[in-house]
Structure 1
Amino acid sequence: MPRPVITPEQRRETRERIRSAAAMLVRQGNPEKITIRAVAKQAEVSVGTIYKYFEDISDLGRSLWEEPVNELRAQMSDIAESIDDPTARIHALLCAYVEFAREKHRVFRGAFLYVRPDSRPIPDQTALEEEPYFQFLTSAIAEGQETGAIIDGDPKMLAQLLWAALHGALALPINIERIAFDPPEQIADAMIKSIMALIDKNE
């Protein structure tokens, strides 16, 4: 007897069921310890079923963050298109990053603070120039340099330094919880002020 045909809607439902199970496990514990078998048990599906939808546990993990991260990129694109002044644009881009970390803290931890265990393979890397956030920062810095508003220097390196400094301000209190740092967002807000004071020639 032939197997019943699975409809596209059923496929979507199964995929979302697996993702929901994985998200629940992430909320309950350490994402690094989550396995395909644990997700299968939570979703009440077979391990083989999960592999029909996701390559491995890393692919499943990425699917949890993909939608909100793409929403962040869309927000960054709106900022890049709507703010003409490059200095104000840089400030808005930095603030949006902090706001994302504040409002989507679970996603931020999973997508931006995840440290790959040595036991898992290095993922395929995307060129830095292909990341929209980096593109928006670099473009704004270069435009600001053309008008004399932003300090001189390689725009690509400056963009990396800005992103690294802000990300570090958010990550440090989370990654080293045994030390009583001020709240991450408070440090990040102060970091933005420091960054803008350093790069803005009008400050």
Structure 2
Amino acid sequence: MAGVQKAKSEETRRKVLEAAIAAVEQGGMEAANIRKIAGEAGYSVGSVYKHFEDQDALLIAVNSVSLGRIKDVMASAVDGTEDPLAQLKALAHAYLAFAQKNENLWTTLFSHHLPDGKAVPDWHIQENITLLAFIAGPLKVLNPGLEGEQLEDRTRTCFSAVHGLVTISLETRFISLTGERLAREMDFLVERLAG
């Protein structure tokens, strides 16, 4: 009997999360309304709160799925590629492609902030760190002298620079680049950052 209850509970959580992901995909972070998501999933608001403490917890779960999808895209991008510079370029382009195809999920990932005093769960921090490892590996090969904190800092700098280029391109600001020009400059940026 306990196994049946657990399976039902997991199914409820899965359906609620799927409804939340669909809501964010369609309408961005503002669409993550618990009452509407409960209705879409076919459950009561109380059922949602049994699995997600509040809207922040639900958005962290959505962001966790987004991170997992980015991880899959990045893993596929470097699969079979041995050259570290080619890996870094492939990672940057994969990241850009993910952001372009999943703009609302990507924007929510970076726009959602917890209220003061509420800590980001350790498991979610680890998911972010796992993605940075994709960058750290090839960077270390290209720069064998980078170790410890220095490698960590360079990895974060590389991610931040690429992220900035992606952000400005998605916002279509007057300084943004698109198409082939964006792809060319992404390669230029990665080459310079890779050292």
Find the partner of 1:162 among 154, 158, 164: 158
Residue aligning to 1:171: 167
Equivalent pair of 1:129/1:135 in contact (CA under 8 Å): no
In terms of Rg, which structure is larger?
Answer: 1
Distance between the aligned counterparts of 2:177 and 2:117, measured in 1? 31
The TM-score normalised by the length of structure 1 is 0.70
Residue aligning to 1:123: 120
Equivalent pair of 1:40/1:50 in contact (CA under 8 Å): yes
Question: Aligned Cα RMSD in Å?
Answer: 3.7
Residue aligning to 2:91: 93
Q: Any unmatched runs of 5+ in structure 2?
A: none
1:119-161 CA distance string (max 9 Å, x none)? 6834235667972221121121111124x9x9xx933222111
Corresponding residue SS for 1:82: coil
Q: Quickly say closer, same or farther: Cα 1:156–1:171, change in 2 above 3 A.
A: same
Residue 182 (str. 1) matches residue 176 (str. 2): yes
Equivalent pair of 2:24/2:31 in contact (CA under 8 Å): no
- Larger mean CA deviation between 136-145 and 14-23 belongs to 14-23
Q: Percent identity?
A: 21
Equivalent pair of 1:21/1:39 in contact (CA under 8 Å): yes
How far off is 1:165 after superposition? 0.7
Equivalent pair of 2:33/2:55 in contact (CA under 8 Å): yes
The TM-score normalised by the length of structure 2 is 0.72
Q: Quickly say closer, same or farther: Cα 1:162–1:190, change in 2 above 3 A.
A: farther
Larger RCO, structures 1/2 (Cα 8 Å, 6+ apart): 2
Distance between the aligned counterparts of 2:127 and 2:42, measured in 1? 41
How far off is 1:43 after superposition? 4.0
